[in-house]
Structure 1
Amino acid sequence: MIITRTPFRVSLFGGGSDYPAWFEQHGGEVLGFSINKYCYITLRELPAFFEHKHRIVYSKFEHVQEVDEIQHPVVRAVLSEMTLEHGLEIHHDGDLPARTGLGSSSSFTAGLLKALAGLERRYVDKRTLALESIRIEQKVLREAVGNQDQIWASYGGLNRIFFHQGRDFEVDPIIISKERKQQLVGSFMLFFTGISRFASEVAQKKIENLGKKEAEITRMVDMVSTAHEILVNPNEDLLQIGALLHESWMLKRGLSDVVTSSHIDGIYQSAREAGALGGKLLGAGGGGFMLFYVEPENQQSVRERLSGLIEVDIDIDYDGCKIIFCEN
C-alpha cells in the first residue's frame, strides 16, 4: 500500500501568464505558495477474488472491470497508458473541497502519479512529476488549465516560477526569515465562498480573451517582481502586498465576465470595509476560496463581517508531493 500527500496552493501574482497560449509568446511568471492542506491518495493492488477488478473511491464509488469503464477522468487517463497485470484500489481524501480555486485537480493528478510510481518502486523527481502532470491534464485530457498548479503540487514551497517560451519552467524559492514568513502568513485570511465550479470552463473564456487583455496580463506579471522585492527586502513593508493584491484583483476581475459575480463582489467589498487591505478570488474565478491580506488588529472585524463563511487557517508547505506511507 502507498499513501501520497500532495499540497494545495495559493497563487498570489501573475495568474494567467501560466497558460501556454500566453507564455509561449510572451513568457510568464507567477508568485505564490503551497499550503498545508492536502490531497491524499491511497493506492494498493486489489486481490483477484473480488467481482470487480478496480475500485476507485472519491465522491463516488466505482467498481469496474476495465480501465475504459472508469468515470474519473484523471484515473482513467493515467491508467489507460499503463499495462496493468493486476487490479487497483484507489482512494482519494482531501482536506478541502474540490473545484474551489486551490489547484486540487492538479494535486490529485500529481498524487496519483507519485503513488503509481511508488507502487512500481520507481523514483520520480519533482520536475518530472510536474511535467507529467501537465502532460496528462493538457495533452491527454485536453483541459483548459495552466502550468502553475502542477508545479506547486510537485515542489511545494514559497516560490517565484518562470515560464519560458520553449515550455520549460524554472522554480526560484523565495528565502525569507522565519519572522517575516510568520508575519506574511499571519496576515492572510482564507474564506470559502460556498461556490464550487469547474475551473477549466472558467479558464477557457479567459484564454479566449488573452489577446484582448494583453495590457492587463502584462501588468499582473510585472507585479511578480514587485512582490518578490517586497518579500526579500527586510526594509520593505509587507503591507504593500495587500495593496498589490487589490490592484491585481481589480485587473483579474476584468479578464472575463465569468471571473466574478455580484455575490463575490459583495464578499470582497465587505472584507475591505472591515479592514482588509486587499485580496483575490483564488484560481480561475467563478467561485471557490477568497484570500485577504489583513493586519492582525483588523482580523476579528473581518471575521465578524464574513461570519457566514468558513475560514481556513493556512501555513506554507515546503515538502510538495511525497509518499507518507509505503508497505510491501
Structure 2
Amino acid sequence: MIISRTPFRVSLFGGGTDYPGWYSHHGGAVIGTAINKYCYLTIRDLPPFFEHKHRIVYSKVELPSSVAEIQHPSVRAVLSEMNEHSGIEIQHQADLPARSGLGSSSSFTVGLINAVRAKKGLISSPQYLASEAIRIEQDVIKENVGSQDQVWAAYGGTNFIEFKNNGEINIHPLIMNNETITSLNAHLMLFFTGLSRISSEIAEKKIANLDSRKSQLESMFNMAYQARDIMQSSHCYIQDVGEMLHESWLLKKQLADNISSSDIDEIYTSAVSAGAYGGKLLGAGGGGFLMFLAPPDKHDAIKRSLTKLIHVSVKIGACGSKIVMYEPNGFYQNL
C-alpha cells in the first residue's frame, strides 16, 4: 500500500495570468500558499479475486474492467499515460470538499502521479510532478485550467511564481520574517459558501474573455509584484495586503459575469462591514471558499455575520506532495 499526501492552496494575487493563453503572450505572475489541508490517495494492487480489474473510490465507486472504462478523467489519463494497466485500487480522501476553489483537482492529479510512480519504485521531484500534472490536465484531459495549482500542490510553501512567455515557470519562495508569517496566519479566515462548481466550466468563459480584459489582467499581474515586495518587507502591514486583495477581487469580478453572484457579493460585503480588510472568492469563481484578511479582534464579529457558512482554520506554507506511506510489498520501506 502507498499513500500520497498533497496540499490544497490559497491563491492571493495574479490569478488569471497563469492561463497559457495569457502568459504565452504577456507573461504571468501569482502569489499564494499551500495550506495545511490535504488530499490523500491510497494505492494498492487489487487482488485478482473480483470480476472487476480496478476499484476507484472517490465521490463515486467505479469497478471498471479496463483503464479505458474509468470515468474519472484524471485517473484514466494518469494510468493510461503511465502505462499502469495491472489491477489497481485507488481510494481518495480529503480534508476539504472538491470543486471549492482550493486547487483540489490539481492536488488530486499531482498526488496520483506521485503515488503511481512510487508504486513503480520511482521518486518524483516537485518539478516533475508540477510539469506532468500541467501536461495531463491541459493537453491530455484538455481542461480549462491554469498552471499555478499544480505548482502549489507539488512544491508547497508560500511562493511568488512567474510564468514566462516561453513556457518556463520560475518558483521563488517568499522570504518573510517570522512576524509576518505569524501575522498572516492570525489574520487569515476561510469560509465555505456551500456552493460547489466545476471550475473548468467557469474558467472557459474567463479564458474566452482574456483578450478583451487585458487592462484588468495587466493590473492583476503588476499587483503580484507589488504584493511580493510588501510581504517581503521588514515591516509588512497586513492591512495593506488585505486592501490589495479587495482591489484584486474587484478586478477579478470583471473577467467574467459568472465569477461572482448576488449571494457571494452579499457574503463578501457582510464580512467587510464586520471588519475584514478585504478578501476574495478562491479559484475560478462561482462558489467554493471565500478568504478574508481581518484583524484577529474582528474574527468573532465576522463569524457572527456569516453564521450560515462553515469557518475553517488553516495555516500557510504547508509542504508539497509527499509519500507518507510506502509499503509496496506489505512492509514499510524508505523511498
By the TM > 0.5 criterion, same fold? yes
C-alpha separation in 2, matches of 1:190 and 1:275: 15
- Tell me what 1:123 maps to: 123
- Tell me what 1:220 maps to: 220
C-alpha separation in 2, matches of 1:82 and 1:238: 44
* Paired residues of 1:276 and 1:295 also in contact (CA < 8 A): yes
C-alpha separation in 1, matches of 2:85 and 2:228: 49
Post-superposition shift, 1:126?
0.5
- Name the SS for the 1:64 alignment partner: coil
- Name the SS for the 1:127 alignment partner: helix
Following superposition, which runs of at least 4 residues in structure 1 exceed 6 angstroms of deviation?
A: none
User: Are 2:173 and 1:194 aligned?
Assistant: no
- Tell me what 1:45 maps to: 45
- Tell me what 1:26 maps to: 26
C-alpha separation in 2, matches of 1:124 and 1:37: 21
Post-superposition shift, 1:295?
0.6
Relative to structure 1, the CA distance from residue 85 to residue 57 in structure 2 (aligned partners, 3 Å threshold; closer, same or farther) is closer
- Name the SS for the 2:315 alignment partner: coil
C-alpha separation in 2, matches of 1:129 and 1:69: 25
Deviation string 1:149-205 (CA, Å, 9 cap, x unpaired) is: 000000000000000011110000012122220101210110001100000100010
Deviation string 1:52-71 (CA, Å, 9 cap, x unpaired) is: 11000001111111111111
What one-letter code is carried by the residue in structure 2 that aligns with 1:115?
A
C-alpha separation in 1, matches of 2:74 and 2:34: 21
* Paired residues of 1:230 and 1:238 also in contact (CA < 8 A): no
C-alpha separation in 2, matches of 1:173 and 1:231: 11
User: Are 2:281 and 1:281 aligned?
Assistant: yes
Deviation string 1:247-288 (CA, Å, 9 cap, x unpaired) is: 000110111000000000000010111011100000000000
- Name the SS for the 2:250 alignment partner: helix
Deviation string 1:191-222 (CA, Å, 9 cap, x unpaired) is: 00110000010001001101011000010111
C-alpha separation in 2, matches of 1:191 and 1:233: 28
* Paired residues of 1:48 and 1:86 also in contact (CA < 8 A): no
What one-letter code is carried by the residue in structure 1 that aligns with 2:232?
V
- Tell me what 2:313 maps to: 313
Which has the larger displacement, 207-216 or 224-233? 224-233
Structure 2: give runs of 5+ residues left out of the alignment. 330-335
- Tell me what 1:167 maps to: 167
C-alpha separation in 2, matches of 1:42 and 1:218: 41
* Paired residues of 1:279 and 1:290 also in contact (CA < 8 A): yes
C-alpha separation in 2, matches of 1:275 and 1:307: 15
- Name the SS for the 1:97 alignment partner: coil
What is the TM-score of this pair, normalised by structure 2? Answer: 0.96
Deviation string 1:275-328 (CA, Å, 9 cap, x unpaired) is: 111000000000000001101111111010001100000102432000000012
* Paired residues of 2:10 and 2:34 also in contact (CA < 8 A): yes
> Equivalent residues in 2 for 1:126-275 (5 A)?
126-275=126-275
- Tell me what 2:332 maps to: none
C-alpha separation in 2, matches of 1:85 and 1:239: 52
Which has the larger displacement, 141-150 or 70-79? 70-79
- Tell me what 1:78 maps to: 78
* Paired residues of 1:3 and 1:43 also in contact (CA < 8 A): yes
C-alpha separation in 2, matches of 1:16 and 1:81: 28
C-alpha separation in 2, matches of 1:154 and 1:235: 30
What is the TM-score of this pair, normalised by structure 1? Answer: 0.98
Post-superposition shift, 1:225?
1.3
C-alpha separation in 1, matches of 2:215 and 2:253: 14
- Tell me what 1:95 maps to: 95
What one-letter code is carried by the residue in structure 1 that aligns with 2:252?
K
**Count of paired positions:** 328
- Name the SS for the 1:213 alignment partner: helix
C-alpha separation in 1, matches of 2:41 and 2:170: 27
Post-superposition shift, 1:85?
5.5
- Name the SS for the 2:63 alignment partner: strand
C-alpha separation in 2, matches of 1:187 and 1:101: 20
C-alpha separation in 2, matches of 1:150 and 1:56: 22
C-alpha separation in 2, matches of 1:108 and 1:288: 17
C-alpha separation in 2, matches of 1:229 and 1:84: 45
What one-letter code is carried by the residue in structure 2 that aligns with 1:24?
S
C-alpha separation in 1, matches of 2:85 and 2:251: 51
- Name the SS for the 1:167 alignment partner: coil
- Name the SS for the 1:250 alignment partner: helix
* Paired residues of 2:44 and 2:88 also in contact (CA < 8 A): yes
